Amino acid sequence: VPITQSNDWVIGQLIEALLTSLLCSVRLLMMFEADSFSLGVFWTAVAVATAACCVLYGVFQRRETQPLKFRGAWLLMASGVGGLLMMSWLVLFLMREHAPASLGVSHGSFCAFGGWMVWLAYPLLVVPYLLRCSRLYRIFNQSAMEKLFDDPRVGPAAVTTEAFLLKLLLAAVTLCAGIKAVLDAVQVDIGVIGFGCGNDNMVVWSVMHVVELIILCAVLYSVRGIRDDFGVMAEFSAVCLVWLLATIGLVVVSTLEPNSQLQHWFSASTQLSDVHGYQISAGIIIARNLALFGISLVWPLYRSYVSPFVALWSSVDALHSLDALLKDIVSIQYFRQHLTRLSMVENILCWVEIELFRDMPSDLQRHQAMRIYDTYIDDDADLQVKLPQQIRARVKRAMDLGVPTSESFSEVQHELFLQMNQVFPSFLTSDSGRCCFRELEKEENLRDILERSGMI
């Protein structure tokens, strides 16, 4: 279903449901006897959940701004909700472990609820990261991108839109729910819950984390070459680092448990009881989910307000004239290669230096002006450009007076432009020009598929 403005009403209903659930939880908690520790944990969780809901609402409101739009705001929110649901169950677990009677819930009911929470919330947390990496790979991998454009069965970028990825996420969560229902029907416990429910150890849980870490690192490696204008690679790297630290912590805890196969390696004083092991593991997972929430939602939301990312895209229109070429950084690089072969590279270097001079603060302009004069214009300059003697004299006079301005170099830039314009036609037919055209065409195709994917 396409994402439209009607989602404003939907998100409002979801927030209202969350607040209603929170009030019901408060009333339910007050019905049972809870000690100060349980109450402290509960109200801390309430404060964190309230702040998280505010962040989710902020991401929703800013979903069309960068870098949130490029990363997929709906996928980010889905991952955030999955992490919050997992943390909510783990907080209840900590409260119940500290005071079993505080919640008034039986062990069986609590584990049944935790089983569904793991099977539904965990894929909701993890799968969006995999879908986002898959989308980046499809878009930025040249062969995959060509298949998207050439496939007559689907429109370009049809499989990279966020609406399509949300359908895949829904399918993955539904599949996990179906597997959970089947396992419950046949009464099979594969030990993915842990925490004293069913398979009473954290080994399976730790193995799952190791497998997920390997998958995340492999996916991260596959998209290492993408154009990272919006900080996505930094996000994925931070996510992998957090996951690595959490995995190491869980593996260490599982090896120190009494029923671990490695318990003979450790003395009795270093072993953890089951309860302490579960509590530490729950704390590690809560800390991991909070870190992921901050990396993937809080930081991009903050950046969208403070300094939104702006990507600069090149186009083949840059080859229509020298004036257009000099406004495009990619074209300038290839044109510089051509001028190097013609022993005229000092022209483009001087022209760029003067452009930088024009944009500098006034207190820095004199130093830059002296640098330009000494490098390109002075009679003893290392990279002296070819200029009429009268122009060179006027620039020298301005430098001697100590008041160089933008107008002091205007004639120099104009003369350099005329000289470069004479060799511009030869650049278009040169190897550098053809390479430049292919690079600009690739850039245009990339921008086109990003626009069709709804990422920019």
The number of angstroms, rounded, from the C-alpha of 392 to the middle of its chain's C-alpha atoms is 51
Instruction: Report helix, strand or coil for 194.
Output: strand
Q: How far is CA 192 from the centre of its chain?
A: 29
350 vs 446, residue with greater confidence: 350
Summarize the confidence of residues 32-57 as an average pLDDT.
72
Token pair of 123 as six digits? 């894929």
- Convert the pLDDT of each residue in 110-169 to its tens digit: 777 777 888 888 899 999 998 998 888 888 775 445 555 544 444 445 678 888 999 999
Question: Is pLDDT at 20 greater than 70 in this prediction?
Answer: no
What span, in angstroms and rounded, lies between the C-alpha atoms of 86 and 91?
9
Peptide bond into 156 cis (omega under 30): no
Contact of 382 with 375, CB cutoff 8 Å? yes
Written as one letter, the residue type at 11 is I
- Give tens-digit pLDDT for 240-286: 899 888 888 877 877 776 555 445 444 444 555 656 777 788 888 88
Mean pLDDT value across residues 25-33: 51
Under 8 Å CB-to-CB from 235, ≥6 apart: which residues?
71, 295, 296, 299, 300
Segment 211-215 shows an average pLDDT of: 80
What is this structure's pTM?
0.76
**For range 4-32, the mean pLDDT:** 54
Per-residue pLDDT tens digits for 378-425: 888 888 889 888 888 888 888 887 767 777 788 889 999 999 999 999
pLDDT of 447: 85
- Kindly state the average pLDDT of the residues 41-48: 74
Mean predicted confidence (pLDDT) in 75-88? 90
The Cα–Cα gap between 219 and 184 comes to 32
Model confidence over 218-232: pLDDT tens digits?
A: 877 877 777 777 788
Q: CA-to-CA distance for 327 and 372, rounded, in angstroms?
A: 20
What's 200-257 look like in SS3? CCCHHHHHHHHHHHHHHHHHHHHCCCCCCCCCHHHHHHHHHHHHHHHHHHHHHHHHCC
Exposure letters 413-433 (e unless 16+ CB within 10 A, then b): bebbbebbeebbeebeebebb
Q: What are phi and psi of 384, to 5 degrees?
A: -65, 130
- Per DSSP, the three-state class of 197 is strand
Q: What is the mean pLDDT of residues 355-360?
A: 85
Q: How many other CB atoms are found less than 10 A from the CB of residue 167?
A: 12
Tell me how far CA of residue 454 lies from CA of 144, 151, 381, in angstroms. Answer: 18, 19, 51
Q: Whole-number mean pLDDT of the chain? A: 78
> What confidence score (pLDDT) does residue 80 get?
92
- As a whole number of angstroms, the distance between CA 357 and CA 119 comes to 60
Share of the chain above pLDDT 70, in %: 74
**149 within 8 A of 156, measured Cβ to Cβ:** yes
Query: How confident is the model at residue 40, as a pLDDT?
Result: 66
Question: How many C-beta atoms lie closer than 10 Å to residue 99's C-beta?
Answer: 15
Nearest by Cα to 162 from 194, 146, 139: 139
Query: How many CA atoms does the CB half-sphere of 180 hold within 13 Å?
Result: 20
**Distance between the two ends of the chain, CA-based, in angstroms?**
20
The span from the CA of 250 to the CA of 281, in Å, is: 6
Mean pLDDT of 29-57: 70
Count CB neighbours of 275 within 10 A.
12
Instruction: Inform me whether the pLDDT recorded for 170 exceeds 90.
Output: yes
Residues in CB range of 53: below 8 A, 6 or more apart = 15, 18
Structure tokens at 352: 């760029």
Please check the confidence at residue 192 and state whether its pLDDT lies above 70: no
What is the reported pLDDT for 409? 84
State phi, psi for 412 to the nearest 5 degrees.
Answer: -65, -45
Asked if residue 388 lies in contact with residue 415, where contact means CB atoms within 8 angstroms, the answer is yes
- Report residue 28 as tokens: 């339910």
As given in the structure block, the two tokens for residue 114 are 């935790």
- Based on C-alpha coordinates, what's the Rg of the chain? 30
Encode pLDDT of 93-103 as tens digits: 777 666 555 55
